[in-house]
Structure 1
Amino acid sequence: MTNLHSSLKDTFGFDQFRPGQEQTIRQLLSAESSLAIFPTGSGKSLCYQLAALHLPHLTLVVSPLLALMKDQLVFLAKKGISAASIDSTLTAEQSKAVMSDVRSGKIKILMVSVERFKNERFRHFIQSIPVSMLVVDEAHCISEWGHNFRPDYLKLPAYREALNIPLVLLLTATATRAVKKDMAQKFGITESHIVQTGFYRSNLDLSVVSVSTSDKNAQLLETIHQQSSGIESSGLQSSQRPGSGIVYVTLQHSAEQVAEFLRHNQINAMAYHAGFVSEKRQQIQSDFMAGKVQVIVATIAFGMGIDKADIRFVIHYDLPKSIENYSQEVGRAGRDGAPSNCITLANLDGLNTVENFVYGDTPELAGIEYVLNNIKAECQSSPPQSSQSQNSQQNVQWELQLLSLSNASNIRQLPMKTLLVQLELLGVLQPLYAYFADFKYKFVKSKEEIMAMFTGERQAFVAAIFAHTSFKKVWGEPDFEALFRSYACERSRVVVALEYLQEKHCVLVETKRITEVFSVNTDALSEPDLAEKLHQYFVDKEQKEIKRIAALVRFFELDKCLSHHLSLYFDDTQSPPLCGHCSVCKGQVATLEYSQQHRWPDDGLLTTAIRALAQHLNEKAGLLMSDISEDLYCRFLAGISVPLFTKYKVRQLQGFGSCEHVRYADIRQKVQDLLV
């Protein structure tokens, strides 16, 4: 067996493995696919990094966040391991260089997002590369039972099969028993190859502090001063360096307001959220990692993959989205093993905001019906075609551009992806391939030089591509349909040929507007209750998420050890029943309350707002009042944005968000009363 301890020391500079690492790596090197569930900061990434050095071919890593990829690449570069990513930040020239290095075997680890598999250029490329191992980071995204379910992850088992990848490693920090079982089953991982280390971390003090919204800023300031001063209640020895901290909030504008408040009170703090441009986010993160910023006030956009050892405190200014989110976020504290504090400033004021994220992602029945009718209409208007298909059968096909359909159906893009996956699982759709609606190239070398590179049929094929390209000045667009008729070739061969010419510095290729092509089972599409069945799926999913939020509130109000019950939630029964250092063990049981009872706006004002919305949508979109659903009125009053509101600038109307402090179920009852 490979001397793993030598590799660990020589390459990574570590004297010994952390719990679970060696077992996972030895399983992989014995050709056994594995699932590793380690707490945040426990060295999951080392499992694939070290294993990749001893595998013969490429290790392909699927990661959900660009920032996480970049951090990993910086770490690997420092260790002398050749790794790269193919992502949206690369220029065409940079992507080409990465692909060339992968093809030559120079690169051992390639990192991509799951969405990269939709890219026909990438798929044709990766199919030509021998891959030893597929690694799925944040693998709980695969499971519909998980908290961060991402529909595209459901396709990874099929991608693995299509690419004939022999080995899989799934990595996550948070998996309940149901999620663990679901992940393993999807990739055929046996129970004996699931490696789960203890969830409990003795250096983290979990505390829940009941506080009203009006007192929250003062409490936050006092809490941060306690962390920085090293007084006894902070859990730190007075001689210790204060270290850094993260303050988590729900909304982007809250991040900026709280950061400004802290700076005003001489705390070195910066806001961080997804609304900032990429360069600004990267600079803020870099400053935090370097110790130039002490406190980051962030939405959940910040933190995944952050490997900073001296984060001494994590404060939840607002309620997290779930117990899973909470565990990941507090897990960023104390990675150096030193005592660290995780404090939640808790009340129920933000409960409706967290819930509204869930309600906003539930498509209306009318939106689902629109999608199904769109598929039917396109199937009826288009005869079966096999020339573009990668399937030999004659199939009725449907083409999708996600953004356009999302706007037209008034379904957000994430639930639209979930809807498409459900249609696949019900046998209505089968993904065939994806292509770019805009596919163009320009010459770097002359046609004559390029033609001279080939002979026989290959030369004739390249000549056919050039002959069936429409040039506008410099750039040309291949006429795929004309090519199919005259040369009887598949689109994939044209794409591969142009990619090859780009690799040889003969042409430069540009692509835009990804279009997915599906085969449609018209019988399954015609099932009379299909729309209702799909809508019920989303309603059930919505209620599951609402229950998850209720479980979070119950957790914060526990009168038994928080650390122990957090471990039990993630199927770890080995933690001590009394940690001795959480707020409950210290005798401080929290009760979450509303800071104040918000009054409803006057019924007359709500009726005026509803009528204004109806009139606006009639003028802008031609919708009759009968076309506007109860849910659309509710979302308007709750301040939940949907594509229709963005398209027709509904947020500017008076009354939008006028009930944002009220829970959605109560808004629904009010709307029903007003519409009678």
Structure 2
Amino acid sequence: MTRAFETLQSTFGLTAFRDGQQAAIDKLLQGESVLTVFPTGGGKSLCYQLPALLIEGLTLVVSPLIALMQDQVAALHARGIAAARLDSSRSGDEVREIYRQLRSGELKLLYVAPERLQNSRFLALLQGLHIGMMAVDEAHCISEWGHNFRPDYLKLAQLARDIGVQRVLALTATATPSVAADICRQFAIPASNHIHTGFYRANLALAVTPCRDADKLPLLLRALQVAPGDASIVYVTLQQQAESLAAQLQGAGIRARAYHAGMKPEVRESIQNAFMAGEVSTVVATIAFGMGIDKADIRAVYHYNLPKSLENYMQEIGRAGRDGAASRCELFACPDDIRVLENFTYGDTPVPQHLDALIGHLLSLGNPFDIAVYDLSNQFDIRPLVINTVLTYLELEGVIAGTGPFYSTYQIRFELPQAQLLQGFDAARAEFLQRVFASGKQGRIWLTLDVTHAAEALGEPRERLLKALQYLEQQGSISTQVKGVRQQYRRLQTPDLAQLCGRLGQLFARREEQSLSRLRQVLDYAEDAHCLPAQLCGYFGDNLTEACGQCSSCLESGARSLPTLADAAMSAAQQRSIDSLIAEGQEALRHPRQLARFLCGLSSPATFRLRKHPAYGSLSAQPFQQVLEAVERRLGA
């Protein structure tokens, strides 16, 4: 630890470790794996950046956040630390240079998205390197019991073993005891190496304000106008709502902007930069905003709509007051919000028959086989994330094994005349290249080549074509652009189809119930009159021995009650609209669950083109289960 203290001062310009950092770094330097559960802004990144400089070999950092990777790599470069990132924004030349730096041992830290670890060429490179540590950011995503499960994370523990990682550091701000135990089990982290610093932050004053939907805007305006220049985040559920609410705040003189995933990346970046610089005081955002934002002086976080879970809520309020100064976190508790959030959950659950058909289709393909996720999504009316989850579970069950993604289509631009290019090869190789080029479609500038079809037509392995194109590009003879990503798999066994479909069907049904249960926990939290920080700490397995004395529960006397849910009785006109839609006999709406999703305004791959239909979303104010039951009665299902 003497060297660690010296590095802390000389490289990072700090004089002391924060709570928990020293214990984590000490265990890592001893070669042990660690789980750190620190609050948002608690200094998790130093726990791998500092030991990476003292540990032999490469530190591989797995993160789902491109913005975070960009910011951290830029900061490390400013400190003279050899770091790089591999993500979807990198060009072919940049990727090749990073691969060269990896082979030469020049890099100390490499940041990657979890999807990059599905690339067989990249994995082959990693297996030839000495990887001293793998840091897994947002590690709660690895747990199927977590609130933000991501299929690619499930395979990280096995991958760490496959590529010979010496030690693992798992990092998260939101892990319940069961999720933390799951992370430790998967990465073989001893219970004694689960380091958490407590979830209570005394500078955050938490408030719950029961209200109806019509009350929210006046309440928010009143709160913002008390300190109109303070940096604030307002969280909403829907992208359209972010736009409309930001416009209303602007009309009231608030320097507000909307932010959501539907915006172009350059627009999102400009809004984020303006907020960081203080040119925008309030960002009205979906959950797309805030991940990786390192702004210390956010004075308030308002939840205009209910959060999806207490984990989401804890993560989002954690963006306030990182400078330690007093900050306010207010939740406008309107039970009517629960309808939209429940519907999102129901929209993610596949129709059981469609799920069975997808699994049967995958197991009927040749061996090896390749698929395009978006093609399957449209074919079986299942969202892409769910398709990826199915593929991941088939891998974990040992039914299939992924051999990596590849691009089906290459666009080739010749930097040399073809005749001159071919002169550099013997007759056999020149003839092969000539046949390859002839199998493509020449445009004004680019030759478009479907590699799989070309390989079949030429009777050659696809790998030979790819190696030839890669060699020509390395020589500067051609430039390429790629599109049409496909995933390739090998089938390892032929399981009992009915049993396999049954297990996966139960998995998705269980995940749906877990998501609905998390929504109910948010309402329970809002309605409970006990100290709010004590409730949150208890949920995450931490004990707050004394009430905070400053939250709305502590400052108010007596019970807190939320407004009752709006009457959800279905009118005769709404029931007739169901009958009318059924009578149309739309091919994409044959199953009761498809019809119910459509009526509740939940788009799916098969119904995307029907979104302008007058019935789309006509019953969005109704509970999904009530609409589903009404549809099933009419269909006799």
- TM norm structure 1: 0.86
Which of 586, 601, 604 lines up with 1:642 in the alignment? 604
When structure 1 is superposed on structure 2, of 26-35 and 471-480 the one drifting more is 471-480
Question: Is 1:640–1:657's contact at 8 Å kept on the other side of the alignment?
Answer: yes
Question: Is 2:363–2:494's contact at 8 Å kept on the other side of the alignment?
Answer: no
The letter for the 2-side match of 1:560 is H
The letter for the 2-side match of 1:328 is Q
Question: Is 1:245–1:295's contact at 8 Å kept on the other side of the alignment?
Answer: yes
**RMSD across aligned positions (CA):** 2.9
Which of 437, 449, 457 lines up with 1:470 in the alignment? 437
Question: Is 1:121–1:499's contact at 8 Å kept on the other side of the alignment?
Answer: no
Mapped partners of 1:640, 1:142: distance in 2: 27
The letter for the 2-side match of 1:572 is D
The residue number in structure 2 matching 1:579 is 548
Which of 574, 580, 586 lines up with 1:617 in the alignment? 586
SS class of match (1:100) = helix
Mapped partners of 2:491, 2:626: distance in 1: 40
Which of 567, 576, 593 lines up with 2:537 in the alignment? 567
Change (3 A) 1:638 1:123: same
Cα shift readout 1:601-637 (whole Å, capped 9, x = no counterpart) = x33443334433552624xx6x7xxxx1211121111
User: Structure 1 residue 479: deviation in Å?
Assistant: 6.2
User: Structure 1 residue 453: deviation in Å?
Assistant: 10
Cα shift readout 1:480-510 (whole Å, capped 9, x = no counterpart) = 799899999783x775675466455454343
When structure 1 is superposed on structure 2, of 554-563 and 90-99 the one drifting more is 90-99
Mapped partners of 1:109, 1:583: distance in 2: 44
SS class of match (1:350) = helix
The residue number in structure 2 matching 1:30 is 30
Mapped partners of 1:465, 1:106: distance in 2: 37
User: Structure 1 residue 312: deviation in Å?
Assistant: 0.6
Mapped partners of 1:90, 1:432: distance in 2: 22
Map 1:527-538; keep pairs closer than 5 Å: 527-538=497-508
Mapped partners of 2:515, 2:222: distance in 1: 33
Change (3 A) 1:641 1:482: closer
Question: Is 1:613–1:650's contact at 8 Å kept on the other side of the alignment?
Answer: no
The letter for the 1-side match of 2:630 is K
Mapped partners of 1:336, 1:570: distance in 2: 23
> Quick check: 1:403 aligned with 2:374?
yes
When structure 1 is superposed on structure 2, of 433-442 and 649-658 the one drifting more is 433-442
Mapped partners of 2:470, 2:6: distance in 1: 41
Cα shift readout 1:275-333 (whole Å, capped 9, x = no counterpart) = 11000000000110111111110000000111111001000000000000000000000
The residue number in structure 1 matching 2:122 is 122
Cα shift readout 1:431-472 (whole Å, capped 9, x = no counterpart) = 233322224655557899999999xxxx99977974663344
Question: Is 2:120–2:403's contact at 8 Å kept on the other side of the alignment?
Answer: no
SS class of match (1:207) = strand
Which of 339, 343, 346 lines up with 1:356 in the alignment? 343
Change (3 A) 1:501 1:9: farther
Change (3 A) 1:316 1:461: farther
Question: Is 2:408–2:452's contact at 8 Å kept on the other side of the alignment?
Answer: no
Mapped partners of 1:225, 1:460: distance in 2: 78
User: Structure 1 residue 49: deviation in Å?
Assistant: 1.2
The residue number in structure 1 matching 2:614 is 654
Cα shift readout 1:39-97 (whole Å, capped 9, x = no counterpart) = 00001011111122223332221111222222222332333323222222223233333
Question: Is 1:206–1:563's contact at 8 Å kept on the other side of the alignment?
Answer: yes
SS class of match (2:155) = helix
User: Structure 1 residue 545: deviation in Å?
Assistant: 1.0
Change (3 A) 1:299 1:502: same
Share of identical aligned residues, percent? 38
The residue number in structure 2 matching 1:217 is 217
Question: Is 1:34–1:168's contact at 8 Å kept on the other side of the alignment?
Answer: yes
Change (3 A) 1:479 1:597: closer
Mapped partners of 2:466, 2:165: distance in 1: 23
Question: Is 2:213–2:334's contact at 8 Å kept on the other side of the alignment?
Answer: yes
The residue number in structure 2 matching 1:545 is 515
Map 1:17-56; keep pairs closer than 5 Å: 17-56=17-56
SS class of match (1:259) = helix
Question: Is 1:227–1:313's contact at 8 Å kept on the other side of the alignment?
Answer: no
SS class of match (1:585) = helix
The letter for the 2-side match of 1:192 is S
What are structure 2's unaligned runs of at least 5 residues? Answer: none
SS class of match (2:611) = helix
Map 1:503-542; keep pairs closer than 5 Å: 503=474, 505=476, 507-521=478-492, 523-524=494-495, 526-542=496-512
Which of 612, 621, 625 lines up with 1:665 in the alignment? 625
SS class of match (2:198) = coil
Change (3 A) 1:292 1:451: same
The letter for the 2-side match of 1:115 is E
SS class of match (1:528) = helix
Change (3 A) 1:143 1:6: same
Mapped partners of 1:439, 1:350: distance in 2: 46
The residue number in structure 1 matching 2:334 is 347
User: Structure 1 residue 134: deviation in Å?
Assistant: 1.6
Question: Is 1:607–1:674's contact at 8 Å kept on the other side of the alignment?
Answer: no
What are structure 1's unaligned runs of at least 5 residues? Answer: 229-241, 380-395
SS class of match (1:171) = strand
Question: Is 1:610–1:633's contact at 8 Å kept on the other side of the alignment?
Answer: no
Mapped partners of 2:469, 2:104: distance in 1: 19
Question: Is 2:579–2:634's contact at 8 Å kept on the other side of the alignment?
Answer: no
Mapped partners of 2:155, 2:389: distance in 1: 11
Mapped partners of 1:444, 1:54: distance in 2: 45
Mapped partners of 1:181, 1:304: distance in 2: 24
Question: Is 1:61–1:112's contact at 8 Å kept on the other side of the alignment?
Answer: yes
> Quick check: 1:322 aligned with 2:309?
yes
The letter for the 1-side match of 2:402 is P
Question: Is 1:469–1:476's contact at 8 Å kept on the other side of the alignment?
Answer: no
User: Structure 1 residue 200: deviation in Å?
Assistant: 0.9
Change (3 A) 1:264 1:26: same
